[in-house]
């Protein structure tokens, strides 16, 4: 039996579900498959949680071989991975995470420009990740989307775009800053995910969760450095490809379940605080009002990329088409009027 | 950190011609002055952001991204000046004893340390050149499209220049200590 | 060689290089570069070096370093520290050894507007020591009180050391600041008790002559108010803004620096030249701190690649030593390093190794941070290299004053710090209660 040493790393800690699943699903399944063959064994050198690099270098660290395998956070790489931003620039389209991941997986095979933007960074994509659904967490209860006019809402980088046209002021922030942002009055609320809000105890300071089910977004991939990949024997490569597919599927299913669990957990944990955590389900009309207030984000974004020679218009069309083909009904037809 | 450092400029080696020395001082002091201005700018843009957010209710775009890059820039641009003023933290006990009993050996050791520093800074500058080339090629930017962006390459170029000048500052210190070791001149460059 | 062995060797090599006087940052870069080269290869080592230089400092939070340093230097030149001392001097003039206690209290309050302890040491060496000498206190005691109480500057928020810890341990800066408040108050009380105890049991150590007959400067109520207002405003601006709802830590630094600048300008204590020099000095201190952080990031990344911290954690977890054995060994190591190196360097060398271990064996990271900062601060008072002591020596500009005398005067305060440290170890809520509120 041959032992192969591989470093696997992430900027985020393993308590973040998609990072934890790298261990429990991707690594475990790879080990399992290889154990059956009996010829190879991997000795994983784990460096999760920012030990090797921070969130600002997830792509270059895999690209340059600082780690062999790592989770690439595409949200923070708009310049290097332009087409991967498609889901954040076509918001309120898809809430079904498994379908979103399935579509991205197909596009990675069918759309050359999309595949190239990853492969040109000297890496091979093994599995894909997405977010759960975005909602608005506030100090005071909302009755509709109109109430956020004039409010200061924290949102991570890209998502500031989802607040344009709503009259709310986007305050740039990250999961690590949201709690104090609210507590100190830097902002009045946060546009974020249940899975992110739960561990940072956001509900303690922003107990009103207006459930818009705004959308899920494609967030990145587990990828392996191409040089490391080329050195691996075929049997190991096949095991990793299979484990990666398994990771993507399990990840999608888990996101749906975990999202509901996280919301319930927050209600449970915050039941006795004052005011208690309250989920306000927003009617479909309010959600639609929000979408309609937004400027034509997709057209703006695609035009800019086309200017740089990136075929973004065709990609938006292919993306929306693939979603519709799987029964998704977008709240706004971003592919019209590009 | 050192408690204090009274001399801001090191006595330059006698071997170097005067015009070169002045030119060199101009580069090092110029970069340090630029970094010093950046500290003031940093304070001003952050205060402006506070005012905008609390009075007009809106964040200024790019403040946290620019703030983060300015920190890297301030360090890179000021590094050469800190090296020249001998302000990098170090343990002085052994060196003080050695300087008293074997000044030549102490100077040689200092030269070796400075050479190591020159090599490390040189490699950082070289690696940064690679990052700069990539930033230019891919049009890398900070910020969010739609909300405001800035290209990263000008920052990167300044970081590279700062690190390269820091390497030269170390090399110049190495030369000075090496001359001291050869001539046996007592090191007059005692900080504090 | 296994990666873990390479990691251990790198630590050993670093210790030797630092001991013989290589700049600490350069030493860290060198051993990390060679370490990564051996664990992976030279290409990866080179790329990591470039990446570390470009991304490890690219953090909005780090902007607090120059800003708090600038603020500290501005309040030092504008006489805010002197005013604080005058107020407490007036309030405590009837107490035995009242000037000593006034120094401690003034330091505690001044600490709330400065994040660097050298600022406190500079200010009070110039303000409090001459006044105490005039009132017949011994030079050793007068300088010792200032040296001792200057450590409050880093324990009571804002504090550069807590910022550095928060960054390395991935804790919230706001929380770490709150964690320092309780221990800061306890330490101030311990210092006060020490002074009163000394004044009653070791009189010759405290007072040189007979009874204190020198007159106290008469400060009227109006003047007193004028002296209180600037510092109260600054505290309100920085801590009030931070906890009361306006800024994050970086912004508190910017607002504080700006506020201090306004006060300095209004008091006409700055001309263009001195302001520029002050900015240059800010830059120099900033670089020496942040360059170390940069180098330490590379060092900790190299260690992560080597798997050494995990092996070390397993040793403390499964071996006969246990968590408290680890804690004691760690504190002893900090105190030993404190004899030789400055506070931030100690943290940057040890924390990349110690924090993963502490987390793995289940120590509360906030509590661990407070213990670290307090133990590290003791190094400011221990010979041969005690930064506070040297700062006082250079601020006094008195050729007669021997460093050994200041060290001797600071000894009782070092003991008070040790006592406080033990107290915090035995009663963790002293540190964690407010932070977790
Ligand atoms: Na302080
Ligand atoms: Na010491």
For residue C47, what is the nearest residue in chain A, using CA coordinates? A64
CA pair distance A47, A28, nearest whole angstrom? 16
Choice between B92 and C16, residue whose per-residue pLDDT is larger: C16
**Residue C168: predicted pLDDT:** 78
Question: Could you tell me the residue ranges of all domains in chain B?
Answer: 2-183
Span from the CA of C286 to the centroid of ligand 2 (angstroms): 21
**CA angle C142-C143-C145, nearest 5°?**
70
How far off is chain C from A50, nearest CA to CA, in Å?
9
φ, ψ dihedrals at A191, nearest 5° = -95, 105
| Contact between chains at A160 and B147 (C-beta distance less than 8 A) | yes
A contacts of B52 (beta carbons < 8 Å): none
pLDDT band, residue C426 (cuts 50/70/90):
very high
**Closest to C184 (Cα-Cα) out of C155, C141, C212:** C155
Question: Rounded to 5, what percent of chain A is helix, strand, coil?
Answer: 50, 20, 30
Is there a contact between C21 and B92 if contact means CB atoms under 8 Å apart? yes
Question: Which among C51, C245, C301 has CB closest to A184?
Answer: C245
pLDDT band per the 50, 70, 90 thresholds, residue B16: low
Q: Give the gap in angstroms from C-alpha B47 to the nearest C-alpha of chain A.
A: 14
CA atoms of C424 and C368, how far apart (whole Å): 10
As a whole number of angstroms, the distance between CA A136 and CA A188 comes to: 10
Tokens for C276, please give them: 């520029």
Contact state of C44 with A65 under an 8 Å Cβ cutoff: yes
Q: What does pLDDT average to over chain B?
A: 84
Mean pLDDT score of chain C, rounded to an integer?
85
Helix or strand or coil: residue A138? strand
Q: What integer is the mean pLDDT of B15-39?
A: 87
Residue C219 pLDDT:
66
Do the Cβ atoms of A203 and A219 come closer than 8 Å? Answer: no
pLDDT < 70 positions in chain A:
184
* pLDDT per position as a tens digit, C310-331: 777 777 777 777 788 889 989 9
pLDDT at B5 > cutoff 80: no
Question: Which residue, among C60, C121, C379, would best test binding to B if mutated, counting the most B CBs under 10 Å from its CB?
Answer: C60
Predicted confidence at residue C218, as pLDDT, reads 65
3-state secondary structure chain C: CCHHHHHHHHHHHHHHHHHCCCCHHHHHHHHHHHHHHHHCCHHHHHHHHHHHHHHCCCCHHHHHHHHHHHHHHHHHHCCHHHHHHHHHHHHCCCCCCHHHHHHHHHHHHHHCCCCCHHHHHHHHHHHHHHHHHHCCECHHHHHHHHHHHHCHHHHCCCCHHHHHHHHHHCCCHHHHHHHHHHHHHHHHHHHHHHHHHHHHHCHHHHECCCCCCCCCCCCCHHHHHHHHHHHHHHHHHHHHHHHHCCCCHHHHHHHHHHHHHHHHHHCCCCCHHHHHHHHHHHHHHHHHHHHHHHHHHHHHHHHHHHCHHHHHHHHHHHCCCHHHHHHHHHHHHHHHHHCCCCHHHHHHHHHHHHHHHHHHCCCCHHHHHHHHHHHHHHCCCCCCCCHHHHHHHHHHCCCCCCHHHHHHHHHHHHHHHHHHHHHHHHCCHHHHHHHCC
Report the share of chain B in percent with pLDDT over 70.
Answer: 86
- Widest CA span of chain A, in angstroms? 64
- The pLDDT assigned to C212 comes to 60
Chains that touch C (3 or more CB pairs under 8 A): A, B
**Highest mean pLDDT, choosing among B94-103, B137-146, C33-42:** C33-42
pTM of the model: 0.83
Q: In the numeric block, which tokens belong to residue A316?
A: 């938006």
Longest dimension (CA), chain B: 66
Written in H, E and C, the secondary structure of C306-346 is HCHHHHHHHHHHHCCCHHHHHHHHHHHHHHHHHCCCCHHHH
For residues C429 and C433, what is the distance between their CA atoms, to the nearest angstrom? 5
Say how many Å lie between the CA of residue C280 and the centre of ligand 1: 22
pLDDT digits (tens, 9 = 90+) for B58-79: 667 788 888 888 999 999 999 9
Rounded to whole angstroms, the Cα distance separating C259 from C240 reads 13
How far is Cα A274 from Cα A270, in angstroms, rounded to an integer?
A: 8
- Where are the alpha helices (H) located in B14-152, listed in sequence order? 18-51, 63-84, 93-101, 103-138
Q: pLDDT for B134-191, tens place per residue?
A: 899 888 888 777 777 889 999 999 999 999 999 999 999 999 999 988 887 654 544 3
Dihedral pair phi/psi, residue C432, rounded to 5°: -95, -20
Is the N-terminal amide bond of C316 cis, ω within 30° of 0? no
C-alpha separations of C381 from C97, C206, C330, C338, C392 in Å: 21, 18, 19, 9, 11
The answer to whether the Cβ–Cβ distance between A65 and C47 falls below 8 Å is: yes
In angstroms, what separates the C-alpha of C352 from chain B's closest C-alpha?
18
**Whole-number Å distance between alpha carbons of C114 and C437:** 24
The ranges assigned to domains in chain C are 3-432
Distance C228 CA to ligand 1 centre (A): 18
Q: Do C300 and A51 touch (CB under 8 A)?
A: yes
∠ CA A175-A178-A179 to the nearest 5 degrees? 115
Which value does ipTM take for this structure? Answer: 0.84
């Amino acid at each position: 039996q041959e032992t192969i040493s591989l470093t696997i790393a992430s900027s985020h800690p393993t308590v973040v579900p998609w990072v934890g699943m790298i261990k429990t699903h991707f690594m475990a399944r790879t080990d399992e498959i290889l154990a059956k063959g009996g010829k190879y064994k991997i000795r994983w050198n784990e460096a999760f949680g920012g030990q090797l690099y921070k969130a600002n270098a997830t792509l270059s660290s895999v690209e340059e071989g600082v780690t062999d395998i790592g989770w690439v956070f595409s949200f923070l790489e708009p310049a290097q991975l332009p087409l991967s931003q498609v889901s954040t620039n076509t918001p309120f389209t898809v809430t079904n995470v498994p379908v979103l991941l399935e579509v991205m997986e197909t596009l990675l095979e069918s759309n050359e420009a999309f595949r190239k933007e990853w492969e040109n960074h000297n890496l091979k994509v093994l599995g894909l990740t997405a977010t759960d659904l975005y909602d608005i967490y506030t100090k005071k209860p909302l009755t509709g989307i109109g109430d956020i006019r004039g409010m200061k809402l924290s949102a991570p980088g890209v998502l500031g775009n989802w607040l344009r046209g709503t009259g709310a002021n986007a305050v740039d922030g990250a999961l690590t800053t949201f709690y104090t942002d609210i507590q100190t009055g830097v902002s009045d609320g946060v546009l974020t995910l249940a899975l992110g809000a739960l561990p940072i105890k956001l509900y303690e300071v922003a107990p009103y969760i207006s459930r818009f089910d705004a959308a899920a977004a494609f967030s990145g991939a587990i990828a392996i450095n191409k040089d490391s990949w080329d050195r691996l024997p075929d049997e190991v490569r096949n095991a990793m490809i299979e484990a990666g597919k398994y990771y993507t599927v399990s990840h999608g299913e888990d996101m749906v379940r975990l999202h509901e669990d996280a919301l319930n957990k927050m209600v449970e944990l915050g039941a006795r605080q004052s005011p208690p955590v309250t989920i306000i389900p927003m009617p479909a009309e309010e959600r639609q009002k929000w979408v309609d207030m937004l400027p034509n984000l997709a057209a703006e974004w695609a035009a800019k990329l086309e200017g740089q020679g990136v075929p973004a218009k065709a990609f938006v069309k292919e993306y929306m088409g693939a979603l519709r083909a799987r029964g998704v009904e977008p709240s706004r037809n971003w592919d019209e009027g590009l | 950190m050192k408690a204090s450092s009274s001399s801001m400029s090191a006595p330059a080696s006698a071997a170097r011609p005067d015009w070169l020395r002045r030119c060199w001082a101009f580069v090092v002091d110029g970069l340090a002055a630029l970094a010093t201005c950046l500290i003031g700018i940093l304070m001003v843009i952050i205060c402006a952001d506070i005012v905008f957010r609390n009075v007009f209710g809106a964040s200024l775009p790019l403040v946290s991204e620019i703030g983060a890059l300015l920190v890297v820039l301030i360090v890179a641009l000021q590094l050469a000046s800190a090296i020249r003023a001998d302000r990098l933290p170090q343990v002085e006990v052994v060196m003080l004893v050695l300087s008293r009993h074997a000044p030549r050996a102490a100077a040689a050791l200092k030269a070796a340390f400075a050479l190591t520093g020159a090599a490390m800074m040189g490699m950082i500058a070289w690696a940064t050149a690679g990052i700069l080339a990539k930033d230019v090629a891919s049009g890398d930017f900070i910020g969010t499209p739609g909300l405001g962006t800035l290209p990263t390459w000008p920052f990167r170029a300044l970081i590279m220049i700062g690190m390269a000048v820091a390497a030269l500052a170390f090399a110049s210190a190495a030369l000075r200590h090496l001359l001291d070791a050869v001539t046996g001149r007592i090191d007059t460059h005692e900080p504090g | 060689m296994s990666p873990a062995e390479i990691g251990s060797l790198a630590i050993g090599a670093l210790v030797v290089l630092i001991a013989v006087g290589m700049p600490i940052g350069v030493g860290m870069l060198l051993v990390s570069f060679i370490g990564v080269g051996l664990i992976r290869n030279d290409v990866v080592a080179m790329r990591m070096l470039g990446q570390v230089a470009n991304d490890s400092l690219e953090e909005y939070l780090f902007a607090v370093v120059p800003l708090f340093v600038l603020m500290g230097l501005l309040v030092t030149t504008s006489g805010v520290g002197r005013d604080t001392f005058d107020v407490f001097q007036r309030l405590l003039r009837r107490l035995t050894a009242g000037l000593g206690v006034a120094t401690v209290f003034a330091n505690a309050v001044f600490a709330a507007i400065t994040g660097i302890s050298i600022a406190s040491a500079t200010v009070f060496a110039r303000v409090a020591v001459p006044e105490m000498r005039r009132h017949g206190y011994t030079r050793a005691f007068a300088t010792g009180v200032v040296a001792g109480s200057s450590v409050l500057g880093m324990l009571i928020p804002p504090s550069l050391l807590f910022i550095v810890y928060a960054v390395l341990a991935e804790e919230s800066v706001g929380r770490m600041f709150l964690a320092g408040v309780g221990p800061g108050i306890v330490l101030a009380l311990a210092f006060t008790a020490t002074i009163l105890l000394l004044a009653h049991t070791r009189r010759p150590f405290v007072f040189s002559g007979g009874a204190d007959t020198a007159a106290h400067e008469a400060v009227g109520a109006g003047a007193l108010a004028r002296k209180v207002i600037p510092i109260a405003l600054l505290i309100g601006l920085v801590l009030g803004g931070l906890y009361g709802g306006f800024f994050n830590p970086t912004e508190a630094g910017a607002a504080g620096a700006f506020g201090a600048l306004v006060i300095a300008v209004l008091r006409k204590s700055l001309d263009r030249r001195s302001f520029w020099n002050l900015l240059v000095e800010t830059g120099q201190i900033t670089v020496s701190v942040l360059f170390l952080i940069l180098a330490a990031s590379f060092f900790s990344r190299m260690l992560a690649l080597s798997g050494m911290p995990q092996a070390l954690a397993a040793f403390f977890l499964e071996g006969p030593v246990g968590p408290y054995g680890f804690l004691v060994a760690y504190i002893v190591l900090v105190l030993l390093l404190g004899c030789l190196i400055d506070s931030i360097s100690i943290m940057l060398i040890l924390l990349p190794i110690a924090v993963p271990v502490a987390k793995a064996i289940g120590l509360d990271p906030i509590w661990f941070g407070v213990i670290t900062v307090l133990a590290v601060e003791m190094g400011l008072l221990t010979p041969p290299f005690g930064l506070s002591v040297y700062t006082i020596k250079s601020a006094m500009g008195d050729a007669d004053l021997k460093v050994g005398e200041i060290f001797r005067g600071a000894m009782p305060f070092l003991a008070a710090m040790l006592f406080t440290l033990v107290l915090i170890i035995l009663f963790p809520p002293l540190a964690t209660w407010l932070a977790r509120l």
